[in-house]
Structure 1
Amino acid sequence: MVCLLIPAQSYLTAFADEKRSNGSTIGGIDVSGLKDQEIKKVLENAIDEWASEPIVIRGGGEELSIDPQEIIFDIDRAIDEYRDSTDKPFYLFWKSEEVVHIPIHISDSESIKEQISYITIWDTEDTYKRVLAQASYLESHEIEAVVTDTTQLENERIALSIEKIPANTKGVQALAEELNEYILEPNEAFSLLTVLENLTDSANTEGLNFVGSMIYNTVLQANIEIMERHAQKELPGYLQPGLNVSVDAFSEKDLQFINVSKHPYLLKMSVEGENLKVELYSSVKDVTVRVSVQQQTIAPRIINRFSKDLPMGSSRLIQEGKQGLRVTVTRTMTDSNGEEKTEEISRDYYAPTNRIVLKSAIQPKESAEEETGPNSGNVDNLDLDGNGLPDFEQNNNKTDGNSNQDKDKNKDELPPGSYYDKGGNLVTS
């Protein structure tokens, strides 16, 4: 039997956090203060429990299940290494015991290697090392394979997006290199901030937004469900309205989506001259996608401001107006059976920019004729008594009074010997 030795130092921080303890561990199991036989018993029980579930390796749309019983653990060798690392000479009795974290050594398995080699798009050696690394610390049974050959995933190009890189962006090249050849497995969730966790400082906000928008525009054309997306506050100079993305680690604005198809997708990104090219491939095109963008314009308002500093009758434009938009994005997917499914993806609102005009507050003076005209003293429907009603009745009463006075005056001027009888008839003698 050939024994595969795994150096302890290379795995000092490789075990799962949930198994971490304050004392020394072997295979992620706390063994501090235990004797050799006790350690062996504890490790055997832990291995039996771990081996009760199959090991599943996934990558590039392929999956392989391995029986954990095929993994041969060398417990005795792990204990010997533990003692060599923690035992101290008698003259250093005053020093505390050194804390170490050691993997359980695993014997080499040609059978497991052979099974992995059947998946031609996987790197056999690197994938095999991942299996040993996780098994030696009794970690998760799900292992991600190292995919080297992605040619079979490039059978169908699902989507293509090409846009000129805006001048105010920074770090687009670095982000594209990090995301290039990314494989999105079936039922796998994607988080842009998580994938670019170590590179967010390499790009500015405009660069992150541009790359995120290009990815969003591309994956919309595939059988991918959008989980989180935030629109930019203002329309950028690229893509159609409603297809942009705002990404910000500080405010936790992320772009997240999940592959709901049965096949993996291969995301390819490259900078070609002044353009960013984003492609999405798959081995099979399972749906046909049509993305529709509906726009409704919003007219800007006109806001007038006044100033005494401007000459009479003049005006000055402070801010030019710009139309706003209401944008609705819908997506229709048609499967191989001809069944259609239409869903509303997003509704965005981009506020209009109001037109602001500064006008003179100086008004022209009224002419003397307007001030002293024959009718200047006449005011119709004036409310002088404050009762909310026009005072025309009072004016009419005043008119009637004047009429009576005129009548009395006329009466005084009757011819001598003439008078009015009871019927109002003029009688002359």
Structure 2
Amino acid sequence: MDKKKFGKTFIVILTFALLFFGAANAGAYAVNTLFFPAQEFGENTYIGTTDVSNMALADAKSLFAGQVEAWRETAELQVTYQDATANYPIDNAEILLDETISQAQSGIQNNFVYHLPPETTVAFLAEQFPVAAFTEADIATIIAKLEQGLAAGQIQTHVTISDDTLQLEKQVVADVSFPNQLKSIGSAEVVSALQAVEIPAGAQFSFLEFINGLNLNEVTDAELTEIASAIYTTVLKTNFSVDERSIGNAAPELVPVGQEAAVNRALGIDFVFTNPNASSFKLTVAIEGESLVVSLSGYPLVYTYAVQTGSEEKVKPRLIKQYSAFVSTGKEIEEEGAEGVRVEVLRSVLADGQELEIEPISTDFYPPVHRVEVYPLAIAESAESPTTATVPQPGEFVDANGDGVHDAVASAPAVPVQGEAGFIDEDGDGIHDGNADEQPAESATDAPAGGTAIEEEAEEPVYDKAGNLISP
């Protein structure tokens, strides 16, 4: 009996224990289900480029946690300051998964939350862009831009940090000085208007459009060319791009060969350049003593730019001979002629004095001016003249028509032979028969019946000055 009682008692206790623990677990499940349901994202929810629709928050966190290392191995963050670009050490970037998951909202595109250590960013900026003295405020702004750029979760991210929000001090990045040959009032007005012109980030500057907005009284295209050429040479010493530039027909006298930027208002010949940087620059043109000085000011550039002009290749002029009735003897020089010149212009990119790249800019060619000599007309012999004029010897001068010029006697016309043009042989004797015009004139006429022949004197032949027979 004791064993039976013990067995029953044990069964009762076990049953109550199972009921107790079951009720407890069921209650906890019910409470969690009814009052604290598991959180999950709704439809059309993305974090970065990953679809997390209908996924529990914990599952989403676990998913991204397994992808962090793979992202570090393939991701790339490119940072651009002015004219230089460098890769940020992405290994030090930290993805804040808890903040990313908690801030994500269902039904929209969400970003990751990143943290970049300030000390890593400071070291990176000092190493890659040493020309810029960033302030603490600048560094904080740059970190925020980099973190925002990474937020989309792309494999490759590019961020430009050198916009006008930085507190960097602007300085002269390029300047040039040309001899001042400007004389007119209009040129002085152009220089005055160009004393402080802002070139916005990514903006294009047209020299013609600028001066067309001025009320110029008097200025020549040559003076405008001198000003534009000085600006052009300054632009070549930066990373600015030249969009439109021309040269004149002849090598310039006031501007070095290879540095000319011709301007012609009537033909619409312009000089145009673009500021490719993310920050603005200031163009300044001024006359300082006997010099025309041009400068560009802005945030310092990382690289140094130098203009290289190759050796001038001379092009010899040709000789052109002309003939004129207005020149009687010798020759006249209508154009002395001048050599042409060809020169190649390059732009080299330097870092710490070391040449990194050479960029071809242009090949300027000024054609030679050919030499022109004018000679008298040559006396051409008539190809159809049957006679050749001869110089009379003493006592042989004949002047029948009284014009003071020797009347040459025509030679007998040439008789064609068999096989030549004009040969006639009607009687078949192999001798040219000639024609009525070639028969000699009779020296007398038949006498009338019952009388004697009366001789008639043959007429004297008449010739022109060239010795040609003139028909009576």
Shorter chain as normaliser: what TM range?
0.3 to 0.5
Larger Rg: 2
